[in-house]
Structure 1
Amino acid sequence: MQSDNPKQYLLIDEKPVLVHTLLKLQRSSLIDDILLVVPENDIFSVRENIERQYRLTKIRNVIAGGKERQDSVSNGLAYAGNEYDIVVIHDGVRPFVTEDMLARSIEAALRFGAAVAGIPSKDTVKEVDCNGGILRTLDRETIWLAQTPQVFRRQVIQDAYARAAADDYRGTDDASLVERLGITVRMVMGSYTNIKITTPEDLVWAEAFLKDAAVHDLPPAGYKENDDS
């Protein structure tokens, strides 16, 4: 990001990216509590400069993360224990999640046990070898790009993380751990605007998107999308 500041703390419209994301969850009628997982050295500043400053009353606790994302989610699950029936896992740098997306993901998880927001690939996808040689062209009709939220029945995601720990398995997302249990994870339509802010270009796009929403007097990421059909 060409900045010493971690991407979740970079500013969009004078607020940290993380705050935009947390405000969406704070305002959602579907979210009861937020367990916020951050680097251990950030806990005090996040509590003071984010939780208290923006009155994020749904934050139940700010928890120390781990070396990698999987370790951080594991810490969050351990803290949550058996209190919740449904667990919603969401990236702090995806500030354009919508209420509709949350609703459909939670509904699918209640029905099927596990659900992930995602979008169909617009581009042709190639499988390549370590030297950059194309091995084959994948069928674009079956390729979806996973996003968050990723939503699970509590026991499903706890079992998946326990199995991964026992096998010393590292997955690329939470759904991949559940898939190893032989459970089919349901894909739910996300949004092409539900980007993960990881590059300077993403930050520029996010600024423009918020400004455009303000000009048209719209909610920053919209609260209504097309259904899955």
Structure 2
Amino acid sequence: MILPAAGSGSRVGGETPKQYLPLLGKPVLWHSIRAFSRLEGCVEVVVAVNPAWQAVAEECGAGIANLTYVAGGDQRQDSIANALQGMRTTPDLILVHDAARPCVSPGLIQRVAAAAAAHGAAIPVLPIPETVKRVDSSGAIVATIPRGELRTAQTPQGFRRPLLLSAYSHAKQQGIVGTDDSLLVEMLGHQVQTVDGELTNLKITYAQDVKKAEGILAEGIVG
């Protein structure tokens, strides 16, 4: 299990990265770590952190035995590459999850893991309810995009370990930078399976998202 947590979270505002914002009295990262470390079958959680926030990250993982910290990189992809190199175990499956998604449910994690075991790679997705427009540099609408086959991607994204390692090796050799891990696997020509995501599995991007996450966790409506 890999949690990239080295980002600056600049869209949230303020100087505190979003993964360290307080959520029900604990940092967001605290909740994300425990969503995975408590699951049966999770042999290791690797957290990629900015060295400037190492002490705070270690406090988030206090008392958890199967936890490893590695230095994050300049980009998310660099952080995950460092995490892959720093893993102390060799699990059959590796899940990669945004540290800023603290409301992930056990059911979603299990669905992704099962699909990844069966297909080699799997990610959770959600349909797009709004109409999608393509615009030009001036802001004028160029086209309306049929959304029937479009989905937004979430995490955790799951992969058989050899496949993810191959994808990262290939990306490094070819200079590929992906917006998520499944894209790197796609670039190998390997099909990625999807499973139903969850609306409650929100990513904290803006300050108001913290309030939403607090409501989800406080009411126990994860999933």
TM value normalised by structure 1: 0.87
Residues 116 and 159, structure 2, Cα contact 8 Å, conserved in 1:
yes
Q: CA separation in 2, counterparts of 1:162 and 1:91?
A: 21
Offset of residue 45 of structure 1:
3.4
Offset of residue 81 of structure 1:
7.4
Q: Which amino acid aligns with 2:216?
A: F
Q: 1:49-87 deviations in whole A, cap 9, x for unaligned?
A: 2222xx22221x111000010100111111237712111
Name the stretch that deviates more: 107-116 or 38-47: 38-47
> Are 1:29 and 2:6 matched, yes or no?
no
* Alignment partner, residue 66 of structure 2: 58
- What SS does the aligned partner of 1:110 have? helix
Residues 43 and 91, structure 2, Cα contact 8 Å, conserved in 1:
no
* Alignment partner, residue 178 of structure 2: 171
- What SS does the aligned partner of 1:197 have? coil
Overall identity of the aligned pairs, in %: 36
> Are 1:20 and 2:22 matched, yes or no?
no
Q: Which amino acid aligns with 1:141?
A: G
Indicate how the Cα distance of structure 1 residues 168 and 13 shifts in structure 2: closer, same or farther if over 3 A, else same. same
Offset of residue 169 of structure 1:
1.2
* Alignment partner, residue 56 of structure 2: 45
Q: CA separation in 2, counterparts of 1:151 and 1:203?
A: 26
Where in structure 1 are there 5+ consecutive unaligned residues?
Answer: 214-218, 223-229
Q: Specify which of 119, 122, 133 is matched with residue 126 of structure 2.
A: 119
Residues 19 and 27, structure 2, Cα contact 8 Å, conserved in 1:
yes
Q: Specify which of 56, 76, 89 is matched with residue 83 of structure 2.
A: 76
Offset of residue 220 of structure 1:
5.4
Q: How many residues align?
A: 212
Could you say what the CA RMSD is over the residues aligned between the two structures, in angstroms? 1.6
Q: CA separation in 2, counterparts of 1:153 and 1:129?
A: 39
Q: CA separation in 2, counterparts of 1:4 and 1:116?
A: 31
Q: CA separation in 2, counterparts of 1:121 and 1:208?
A: 23
Where in structure 2 are there 5+ consecutive unaligned residues?
Answer: 1-11
> Are 1:109 and 2:116 matched, yes or no?
yes
Q: Which amino acid aligns with 1:100?
A: G
Offset of residue 170 of structure 1:
0.8
Offset of residue 116 of structure 1:
0.5
Q: CA separation in 1, counterparts of 2:88 and 2:173?
A: 18
Residues 112 and 185, structure 1, Cα contact 8 Å, conserved in 2:
yes
> Are 1:135 and 2:145 matched, yes or no?
no
Q: CA separation in 2, counterparts of 1:30 and 1:98?
A: 15
- What SS does the aligned partner of 2:139 have? coil
Offset of residue 28 of structure 1:
1.2
Offset of residue 134 of structure 1:
2.4
Q: Which amino acid aligns with 2:66?
A: K
Indicate how the Cα distance of structure 1 residues 82 and 122 shifts in structure 2: closer, same or farther if over 3 A, else same. same
* Alignment partner, residue 5 of structure 2: none
- What SS does the aligned partner of 1:141 have? coil
Q: CA separation in 2, counterparts of 1:116 and 1:98?
A: 14
Residues 22 and 28, structure 2, Cα contact 8 Å, conserved in 1:
yes
TM value normalised by structure 2: 0.89
